[in-house]
Structure 1
């Protein structure tokens, strides 16, 4: 309970600035924080993304397409944890086996699937000698499946992907290169690209992964630490995993947790945008809500877990991540408070300094937010067009970006953070089949 009490105090401090100033001054301070915090973060992400592009990516664009070459061609293991992947498992495994890098093995873990996954994997094992399959009798969760795959691997370099992800032909080479060339690197996260685009929700996520998630990872890499690797495609050094005792079994998002565990032990985590991986994403509101709620809950769990352990000077590079997370939580609760004050103002007479008369931003503020949103997407097109030439076609759908990202983040934070704070003990995290979209991009 001590860690929860301290987490509550930290949250109060984070909320105290906008809330306290609101009570002392006017409600305009609260609304300014609500409206201008996304604007400020967009500026940070654009600046960080452009610096990453200028410092690294622009040089890659001038060179012929040659994936990295490694002396001696060390063995690289691709680990694929699967649960009920009879529909997508075969194409995922074949894409992993079809890498241009020659010295590769693939380990698929069937985590107690209840469909035809086991029979499919056994058939593929008989046809492909570089494929090994581990069958678990019961659903143990993705973290346990990854542990089993890592312990069974013969390589020191492990590329972990989801059971519905399609690796680009050179993805393994790009992911393994920083691990092989830099002994201080513990993990390298790749560049997921969306292939489900039959609905508005799917198309919005195409822009989101470029103009938000891609820029965030570039920016965080510029100042040295990542909040999370992409659980769908990341390479790990097995020595680093062993040092931090592999993936935690009780965290709902094992990718966020393993990122912080590695960085607490001073392992570097890189972002490699050339390591493309085509993924399926939810295309319904229900599926998107479940996914984002799980992400928000996982972030809250990692925040609570690490709050008492990162205050030594050796962990100072993690402090900006914690500050950014606290501000995002403060923004969600500030937005909620402004809604409450607006509703109360219609029922009772509130003091003028805390009365919220309008929730929508003024026309000028709204225009600035819209322009910054379009600028952010333009920057993402500049950076990501070499990986996805048709990205500009999603420009029309980016008008829905504030709703798709900030509003969903608002409600998932409000639902998940109190749940994590009030939970007495964590249980084993197990998975279920997610929403995989309706129609794939050919």
Structure 2
């Protein structure tokens, strides 16, 4: 097999890491979970949410008050002679179950943070898998392009042999060389894309790529569970859980607003020392803030509106997610049929057309353009097959993001029941 200078340079650049081990999807996902910056940041946010939950359970702290009166006066009250010292301890008493409402709100906010982390984790892993699939796709395109170069090289050798017999125009040989050069440039471009994609994939775990290629087979299309089971899994998914958490958080905020409408009271007790009378007495106190009904009502109305909005969004999202789920399943069925038709019908016809065209060209019965057209048909059929397989796996990935199931490219189906 011969290559032009651009193809050789790109191949050398791509093969610099040839000594490295191949990377599996499981390894890529493990590296992402351990070292992805977005996931690492969530550990701190979860700790902050847990601290807020602990703080919400604290009751108001007691307050120590010290007052000194009638000091630095004149006559009998000169200096501290007529001073009155008051030492008291006050405690605010919350009414309306405010502490319980704060705990509810903080608890649901903590749960929402956990939901957000789980969704971020799914998004990060999905992005890794998507780039992994793209790398597999490029590797397959590289193989197809190399096969095309091999066929065009064989065709060029055949043309040169016919040229020696003086029954071939020089233009035909030039046309084959031009096709071969285009294929070599396309191979160089694919090699460059492969190198870039390797770095994009490794960026998910914040490192340089230490692998030469990825393993996997796009032709393995996993079976799908029944739509009813997917819908059941959707009800237990992190995405649905977050919508439910948002609704319950809004309900807790409404209950908190209702509790806050009840004023707290503050009681105090202490002792007072009267130096002038050489007397000590007990001091008791009670205070109650004067809440305005307008402010309290406004807070409750705002909380009610947020609760209604969260409930409405939860219902709308439930409907949208189920419609999206059905759409994905229909797309997967179509793509599976397309892949099967290309594999069982289109590819065999394209291979047969190329074989008969080559045989006819070697015997001088078919012109060069027919052979090149047949070769292009075969390449196009292969590319369409790879593209339909790539699209299939990407939609499976979206299904797994919706249902919260493990992200897999091929292999065992992550569901208990398989459709027939």
Larger Cα-atom Rg = 2
Indicate the structure with greater helix content: 2
